[in-house]
C-alpha cells in the first residue's frame, strides 16, 4: 500500500465509551442493576409458592440454568419444595400439540423424562405419584462413582430433560461445566448438595439453603441470585397433597410452644417444737 493511499484513507474512530451497540437481541435483559432483580427474558417455571416466586429472578425456577439446593440432610426436603413445579412442568408438556398430524389427528409431543441421579433413598413410586409425577416420567440412575454421576447429569442436561441430581462431591469447575450446558436447555436442572458447602464458589446463578421449619413449613434462604442479597428466611407451607386432607386446621399450623412450667420454690421443713413439759428422762 502506497503512502498516498494511507494518507487519504478515513481514520478509524472508536465508538464513544458507554455507547457500544447491542445488536444481539439475546443480550437484552441479561444485564441488571445490583439493587434490583434480574428481568431476563429466559423462561422460568413457577415454584408453586407465591412468596418464593416474588424473590426469584423471572418469577420462578430458571429453565436455562442450574439451581443448587443446599440441605442439612439429603432426600428429606427436596420433594416438598420441588414437587409443585415439577408437576406443573410435566402437565404442561403432556398437552397435545396444536398442529395436526398427517392423519388429521392432534400429534402428541414426545414426553421428556425426569431423571433422578443418585438419590440417597430408593424412590417411592406411590408417594411420587401422589405428588403428581407418574411413574412413566421417572428414570432412576444409580451411578457407581461420582464421575459417572457427573457424566449422567451432563448428558441429561444436553438431552433437555428435567434432572434432580444428588452430587455432594461436585467441584466448582464441574458445576461451571454443567451451567454452560444448561444455557441451551429449557428443562429444570437441580443439584442437591450438603449445607456445609455454602462458602464454596459456584457458577450456579441460583443457590438456596433449605431447612425444616415448624410443623409442615420449610425455611428457605436465597444464598445467591441475580439481584440484591436476600435477607432473612422465607417460611413456606409445604404440606403434601395427599396429607393435607387428613389434617385439621390446627394440625396444618405449627404447634404452639408450651410455656415453661414455673420452678417450684423449695419449702423449708417445719421447725420441730417440743412441749414445755417434755423433759429428757434421766435414768437412775
Kindly state whether residue 254 falls inside one of the protein's structural domains.
Answer: no
48 pLDDT higher than 60: yes
In degrees to the nearest 10, what's the CA dihedral of 122, 178, 225, 241? -30
Give residue-wise pLDDT tens across range 66-76.
999 999 999 88
* Burial class (CB within 10 angstroms; exposed 0-12, middle 13-18, buried 19+) of 202: buried
Domain enclosing residue 202, as ranges: 41-94+110-249
Kindly state whether residue 162 falls inside one of the protein's structural domains.
Answer: yes
Domain total in the chain: 1
Kindly state whether residue 262 falls inside one of the protein's structural domains.
Answer: no
Give residue-wise pLDDT tens across range 175-223.
999 999 999 999 999 999 999 999 999 999 999 999 999 888 999 999 9
Kindly state whether residue 68 falls inside one of the protein's structural domains.
Answer: yes
Kindly state whether residue 215 falls inside one of the protein's structural domains.
Answer: yes
Kindly state whether residue 90 falls inside one of the protein's structural domains.
Answer: yes
66: its cell numbers: 442450574
To which H or E segment does residue 149 belong?
helix 146-158
From the list 224, 238, 230, the residue with the least C-alpha distance to 69 is: 224
Query: Confidence band (pLDDT; 50, 70, 90) for 100?
Result: low
pTM over 0.75: no
Q: Which residues pair with 209 in a beta bridge?
A: 70, 221
- Domain of residue 50, CATH code: 3.40.50.300
**Nearest-angstrom CA–CA distance, 133 and 140:** 13
Kindly state whether residue 22 falls inside one of the protein's structural domains.
Answer: no
209 and 223 Cβ atoms separated by less than 8 Å: yes
120 pLDDT higher than 80: yes
**Nearest-angstrom CA–CA distance, 88 and 48:** 9
Kindly state whether residue 172 falls inside one of the protein's structural domains.
Answer: yes
If one counts every other C-beta atom within 10 angstroms of the C-beta of residue 13, the result is: 6
Amino acid at each position: 500500500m502506497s503512502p498516498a493511499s494511507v494518507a487519504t484513507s478515513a481514520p478509524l474512530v472508536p465508538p464513544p465509551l458507554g455507547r457500544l451497540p447491542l445488536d444481539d437481541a439475546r443480550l437484552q435483559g441479561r444485564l441488571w442493576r445490583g439493587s434490583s432483580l434480574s428481568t431476563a427474558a429466559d423462561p422460568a417455571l413457577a415454584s408453586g409458592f407465591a412468596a418464593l416466586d416474588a424473590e426469584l429472578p423471572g418469577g420462578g425456577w430458571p429453565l436455562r440454568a442450574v439451581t443448587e439446593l443446599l440441605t442439612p440432610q439429603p432426600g428429606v426436603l427436596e420433594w416438598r419444595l420441588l414437587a409443585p413445579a415439577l408437576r406443573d412442568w410435566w402437565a404442561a408438556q403432556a398437552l397435545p400439540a396444536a398442529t395436526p398430524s398427517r392423519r388429521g389427528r392432534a400429534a402428541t409431543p414426545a414426553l421428556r423424562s425426569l431423571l433422578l441421579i443418585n438419590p440417597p433413598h430408593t424412590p417411592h413410586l406411590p408417594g411420587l405419584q401422589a405428588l403428581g409425577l407418574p411413574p412413566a416420567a421417572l428414570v432412576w440412575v444409580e451411578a457407581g462413582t461420582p464421575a459417572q454421576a457427573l457424566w449422567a447429569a451432563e448428558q441429561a442436561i444436553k438431552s433437555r430433560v428435567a434432572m434432580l441430581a444428588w452430587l455432594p462431591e461436585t467441584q466448582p469447575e464441574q458445576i461451571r461445566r454443567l451451567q454452560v450446558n444448561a444455557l441451551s436447555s429449557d428443562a429444570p436442572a437441580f443439584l442437591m448438595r450438603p449445607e456445609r458447602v455454602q462458602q464454596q464458589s459456584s457458577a450456579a446463578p441460583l443457590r438456596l439453603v433449605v431447612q425444616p421449619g415448624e410443623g409442615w413449613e420449610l425455611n428457605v434462604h436465597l444464598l445467591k441470585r441475580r439481584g440484591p442479597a436476600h435477607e432473612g428466611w422465607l417460611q413456606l407451607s409445604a404440606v403434601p397433597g395427599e396429607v393435607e386432607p387428613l389434617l385439621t386446621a390446627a394440625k396444618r399450623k405449627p404447634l404452639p410452644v408450651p410455656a415453661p412450667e414455673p420452678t417450684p420454690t423449695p419449702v423449708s421443713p417445719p421447725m420441730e417444737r417440743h412441749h414445755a413439759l417434755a423433759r429428757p428422762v434421766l435414768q437412775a
